[in-house]
Amino acid sequence: MKLLQVFLTDTHWAIILVLLPLAAAVLCFLFSRVASFIGVTTLFALLLSVVGLGWQMRETGVYHHAIGGWEAPLGIGLYADGLSLLMLAITALVGLGISIYATSYFKHQDAARFWPLWLLLLASLNALYLSADIFNLYITLELVGLAAVALASLTGGPDALAGAMRYLLTTLLGSLAYLLGVALLYHGYGSVDIAILATQAKSEPVLWVAFGLMGTGLALKMALVPLHFWLPATHANASAPVSALLSALVIKGAFYILLRLWLEIFAPHSGGAETLFGLLGSVAVIWGSLQALRQTRLKLLIAYSTVAQLGYLFIAFPLATIAGATVWIAVAYLALSHALAKAAMFLAAGNLIRFGGHDRIADLDRVVQRLPLTAGAFALAGVSIIGLPPSGGFVGKWLLLESALSQGRWDLVMVILLGSLLAAAYVFKVLGRTFTKAPVSHEAHAVPARMEWVALLLACGAILLGFLAPLIIPLMDIGNPFTISGGQP
Amino acid sequence: MSNISFALAGIGLFVLGLYALIVHDHLLRKILAINIMGSGVSLVLVALAKHGGDALPDVVPHAMVITGIVVAVSATAVALVLMVKLATETGRAMLPDDSTE
Amino acid sequence: MNWDAWIPLLVVASSLLPGLVIFTLAEEQVRLRTALNLLGAFVKLALVSWMVWGVYNGHHFETRLPLLPNLEFVLRAGPLALLFVGLSTVLWLVTTIYAIGYLEGSPHRSRFFGFFSLCVTATVGVALSGNMITFLIFYELLTLATYPLLIHRGTEEARKAGHTYLVYTMIGGALLLLGTAWLYSLTGTLEFTPRGFLAGLGEEHRHALIIIFVLMIAGLGVKAAIVPLHGWLPLAMVAPAPVSALLHAVAVVKAGAFGIVRVVYDVFGVDFATGLGVMEPLAWLAGFTIIYGSLRALFQDDLKRRLAFSTISQVSYVVLGVAIAGPIATIGGVVHLVHQGLMKITLFFCAGNLAETLGIHKVSEMNGVGQRMPWTMAAFTVGAFGMIGAPPVAGFISKWYLGMGALEAGQNWVLLVLAGSSLLNAAYFLPILYAAWFKKTPSSWPHEHDFGRMETAWALLLPPLITAALALAAGLLATLPFSPLDWAKLISVREFY
């Protein structure tokens, strides 16, 4: 028992979280015949490592480690607090689901291409959540972007390739803007370490310009309206597991950086940027939802729903200037729930496409009877996306609503409620059609049970989050990630 | 003072690249534009490296630039492969017009 | 271990767990499904009886679990909660039996009974909720659980009706959510408290509180089908008969009416709400709904639609009783929650029987049906007399107390509404009864099934007979302890003295 405790507290789980998927990616590339096996095993190991890290952090607080004893700027520092832990956990959990799904979805050549890229993406994402300096964040951001683009292009065909190409150009542009911001910050304060920058930052032009560049670059990667032009086509034309991981995980990486930088460095010197974020977020919620409602193809509907749901994350910025931690907890909660629910939705859509050979909403043709698990997955995920109780989405939206009301921000109250109603409209537009018979029946193909169950379990996870707030919120708060540091507000 | 002019030149390259990225349709031009932007950022990094009155230049930005170049090379490689694939599929090295759907 | 703290949760779980298991069953596992359904229903009945006995003897049943920062998930068995839980539990049992008979041989029964159980779970949760956030959770769950039942048949008509239902209920839910969150931002608590928890709020919040009241009543009024929020209810008639019975008598409309009772008594408090000046408009609205629903019912030839408009009218008796804001009217309103449930479910069971056995859907097809199906029509007659308010059926008790309460409160116009609505009820029910019993039987029925010696399947006949008997008993034995009237008096005492 004691040995186990020592093992749990002394192992460098964080390093494993980065190196293991990297090594597994190489192995998958070399031994492509057993790639699926390696991949799923790795994901299980990652999940256990996150649990280990969580255990460690519950005992000793935040995790900090300088690899090889070299601190930033030359070395690489690893840092994990409650926010990082939660992001790592959701990545591992949703990643495991997507991986199990992928074992049935991809065969032969496709699998050989998918696994190395996917594991590389996971390694980069984990490194992103563990980075302690803004330059390493750039590197990981770029790696995530490149791996994601390669994954998006896997399906081949003009639509997917064009989507991937557009995504690549966008993501590179975003990274370069971010890097220019890094250069300015380094010039201004002589460091790339987030903690040092937090203490040095002052309200002055170099900081504002740097934030403008970094914020724009990250907003581009997160498809914040009006920079969302690339997202629907890319997410809708990729294969189902890839759509799921793009919408659920990759976007969250960029958001994590933005949130981290905001909390640590920029919030006290924002110069009103939160108002702009709030405005754009509101537009994203309404406009994205309306677009989703207009779609006739399921995957495009889900992709626009992502645009809308990301808007909620930005609505929090103006609220947080007064309400602080509560709002950020709401945001983190929304991000977690969205990751689970959106992955479930895209995987469910993948099942429907496999089943009927199309994703036209009007022709869903009684799938509620023929693929009940998939229909159930879509419905439960939809409940969380709408924000109906009991679900993770409800917890997040309730906390947001509460803050907006207590601050008298009626504009945001209306946006939050209207966004939920529109989400209900587009989710039930799909669900209603799952009960009816299509005018012309299509030939149906069998869907492996594993693919149905994964989608359903992820959706159940999003619902379950609604009950777990008392457990998860204290974990999030390890190291007080949501307390604004860096000088006086 | 020459440092500042280098930095300004770097920013100029960034803006120029951004302009080219937006206006040109051909993907090769877009990829080149991205590369020019990257060079601009590198220039800014190096030019602003020396701060304070030290005689020795700061090595950190140089390390960053080298890393940045590696990243840029790989990104360009990915972009070129994608472009070639797209060109073989559609016969045109361009993105389709309708950017909204 | 303190069992009293878990019983409310077990009551909710006793239909949730069977429901979840039923989803996984194959279509042909009829026996297992039936066994699970009945097991859940009986377990629930036993637990609820235990709680009724306990509460009568001063026990305290409360489940408390952390849910959100500073907010808990609370289930509490107070007298008002138990009244509604008792109704739901008894009616769930009979409706389950009815549904088993009604759906015999039809497809997708596992899905149906799964959602059916979820629906009851949500209703019981609504009843037991100890604070507004818990109420909200179950209230929305109810919307979600009834939607698949509503569009169960999968026709385009059903889909459209479901769509309308959702448009109403989702907007209603959003209004209720807004009202709740707003209230929470003012008070920092949402715990249901006898006579409300707002008394400490200053005069400066008066306008906000009026708006909150309107928001919450509007959100709840959608489900309670208060005019002009009633549009979804007649359309919802496309659902199978057991669903209509459940929607109209127990689950949906009652959850709305019950919510209004809760909000007025345990959130605002009668005195405080009267002070805000919101009770009188609510009473007028309820009165208008009563007359409007009856008038519309008069002109429906489709039997289920006639019953639907009758529901719209009858549920507002509950709201009216609350809005008159006096102790005696409260008794009338609250007891009507139960009485209307018993009577209306009887009528819907009978309508379902006519449709299943003879293919009769219209009032104009009912000539002489009393001779062909005497038992069914006897039950129907009891229900109809109850609706009219004729003694000794339960409906009479409700109307009596409502009338007395209105006089006590000096709101004499209510008597006009009651008289008018009773006349209208008579006008749309008596012709049916006359036709069924005294007109000549036609040579053939629209679509007749043969059930041998019985007039229809026993599983279809038994439930309406039981509920009709209960409706009679609730009227005849109203003065005995544990009768609905007795409980309603208990509730009224708690709120007013």
Q: What's residue B1's pLDDT?
A: 53
pLDDT of residue A254: 95
Provide the pLDDT for residue A275: 92
Q: Kindly indicate the confidence band of residue A74, based on its pLDDT and cuts at 50, 70 and 90.
A: low
Let me know: does A451 contact A351? Beta carbons within 8 Å: yes
Show the domain range for B33: 2-90
- Tally Cβ neighbours within 10 Å of residue C82: 23
| Alpha carbon distance C278, C198 (integer Å) | 15
Distance from CA of C412 to the nearest CA of A (A): 41
Q: For residue range A150-167, what is the model confidence (pLDDT) as tens digits?
A: 999 998 888 899 999 999
Is the torsion defined by CA of A424, A425, A426, A428 positive or negative? positive
Please state, rounded to an integer, the average pLDDT across all residues of chain A: 91
**Domain for residue B27, yes or no?**
yes
| Window 328-367 of A, Cβ < 8 Å to C | 329, 366
In C, what residues contact A, Cβ < 8 A?
A: 23, 66-69, 107-108, 111, 133, 136-137, 140-141, 144, 147-148, 151-152, 154-156, 158-159, 162-163, 166, 170-171, 173-174, 177-178, 181-182, 184-185
Partners of A428 on chain C (C-beta within 8 Å) are 147, 162-163, 166
For position A77, what pLDDT does the model report?
84
B71 to each of A174, A220, B20, B35, how far by Cα in Å? Answer: 14, 19, 21, 11
Which of the residue ranges A129-133, C323-327, C446-450 would you say has the lowest mean pLDDT? Answer: C446-450
Q: Which are the contacts of A127, defined by CB distance < 8 A and separation ≥ 6? A: A18, A136, A140, A143
Is A186 close to B95, i.e. CB distance below 8 A? no
Contacts of C159 in chain A (CB under 8 A): 432-433, 435-436
The secondary structure of residue B49, as a DSSP letter, is T
Return the structure tokens found at A479: 């190291």
* Residue A489: predicted pLDDT: 34
Residue C451's domain spans which residues?
Answer: 336-497
Residue A484 has pLDDT above 80, yes or no: no
pLDDT of residue B52: 54
Who among A372, A436, A470 is closest to C156 (CB)?
Answer: A436
In a domain, C324, yes or no: no
Q: Mark whether C and A touch (3+ CB pairs within 8 Å).
A: yes
pLDDT at C410: 87
Residues of C214-235 as b/e, b for ≥16 C-beta within 10 angstroms?
A: bbbbbbbbbbbbbbebbebbbb
Q: How is residue A434 written in tokens? A: 């799952």
A191, closest residue in chain B (CA to CA): B60
Please, which residues have CB within 8 angstroms of residue A78's CB and are 6 or more apart in sequence?
A: A14, A15, A63, A64, A65, A66, A67, A130, A131, A132
Residue C55 confidence (pLDDT) above 70 = yes
**From the list A395, A402, A436, which residue is nearest C159 (CB)?**
A436
Q: What CATH number corresponds to the domain at position B62?
A: 1.10.287.3510
Contact A389 C137 (CB under 8 A): yes
Residue A74 at interface with chain B, using a CB cutoff of 8 Å: yes
- pLDDT tens for residues C341-378? 999 999 999 999 998 888 888 888 888 888 889 999 99
How many angstroms away from the CA of A359 is the closest CA of chain C? 19
Position C347 scores a pLDDT of 93
Q: What pLDDT, on a 0 to 100 scale, did the predictor assign at position C239? A: 83
**Does C127 score more than 90 pLDDT?**
yes
Residues with Cβ within 8 Å of A163's Cβ and at least 6 positions away in sequence, in order, are A152, A230, A233, A234, A235, A236, A237, A238
In a 13 Å sphere around the CA of A231, the CA atoms on its Cβ side amount to 30
pTM above threshold 0.80: yes
Q: Which of A441 and C405 is assigned the larger pLDDT?
A: C405
According to DSSP, the residues that pair with A193 across neighbouring strands are A133
What is the distance in angstroms between the Cα of A415 and the nearest Cα belonging to chain C? 12
pLDDT at A488: 37
Q: What are phi and psi of B71, to 5 degrees?
A: -60, -45
In this complex, the chains that touch B, judged by 3 or more CB pairs closer than 8 A, are: A
The band of A72, judged by pLDDT with boundaries at 50, 70 and 90, is low
What is the band of A328 on the pLDDT scale with cuts at 50, 70, 90?
Answer: very high
Distance from CA of A104 to the nearest CA of B (A): 27
Q: Does residue B82 form part of some domain?
A: yes
Q: Residue C123 belongs to what H/E stretch?
A: helix C109-128
Q: How far apart are CA C280 and CA C286, in angstroms?
A: 10
Q: What is the pLDDT of residue C356?
A: 86
Q: Give, as one character, the DSSP assignment of residue A270.
A: -
Amino acid at A370: R
What Cα–Cα distance (Å) separates residue C193 from each residue in A412, C183, C190, C201? 31, 14, 9, 15
DSSP tag of A268: G
Residue with tokens 């999003």: A462
Domain boundaries, chain A: 280-489
In this prediction, the answer to ipTM > 0.85 reads yes
**Confidence band (pLDDT; 50, 70, 90) for A487?**
very low
Q: Which of C104, C7, C102 is nearest to C46 (CA)?
A: C7
Task: Please count the structural domains in chain B.
Answer: 1
* Structural domain contains residue B20: yes
Asked whether at least 3 C-beta pairs link A and B within 8 Å, the reply is: yes
C170, HSE (Cβ side, Cα atoms, 13 Å): 24
Mean pLDDT of C322-334: 90
**pLDDT band at residue B101, thresholds of 50, 70 and 90?**
very low
Name the 3-class secondary structure at A78.
strand
In chain C, the residue whose alpha carbon lies closest to the alpha carbon of A423 is C170
Nearest-CA distance B65 → chain A (Å): 10
Whether the CB-CB separation of A224 and A280 falls below 8 Å is answered with yes
A434: closest chain C residue by CA: C154
User: Using one digit for the tens of pLDDT, what is the confidence trace for C78-117?
Assistant: 888 999 999 999 998 999 889 888 888 788 888 888 998 9
Task: Kindly give the interhelix angle for C252-262 and C132-150, rounded to the nearest 10 degrees.
Answer: 170
Q: Do C69 and A435 touch (CB under 8 A)?
A: no
Structural domains in chain C (count): 1
- From the list C66, C136, C174, which residue is nearest A389 (CB)? C136
Q: What are the tens digits of pLDDT across the range C238-278?
A: 888 888 887 766 789 999 999 999 999 999 988 899 989 99
In a domain, C322, yes or no: no
pLDDT given for residue C1 in this prediction: 52
pLDDT digits (tens, 9 = 90+) for A105-139: 998 888 999 999 999 999 999 999 999 889 999 99
Phi, psi of C449 (to 5 degrees): -105, 150
Rounded mean pLDDT of chain C? 89
Please indicate if any CB of chain B lies within 8 Å of the CB of A180: yes
In terms of C-beta density within 10 A (0-12 exposed, 13-18 middle, 19 or more buried), how is residue A441 classed?
Answer: exposed
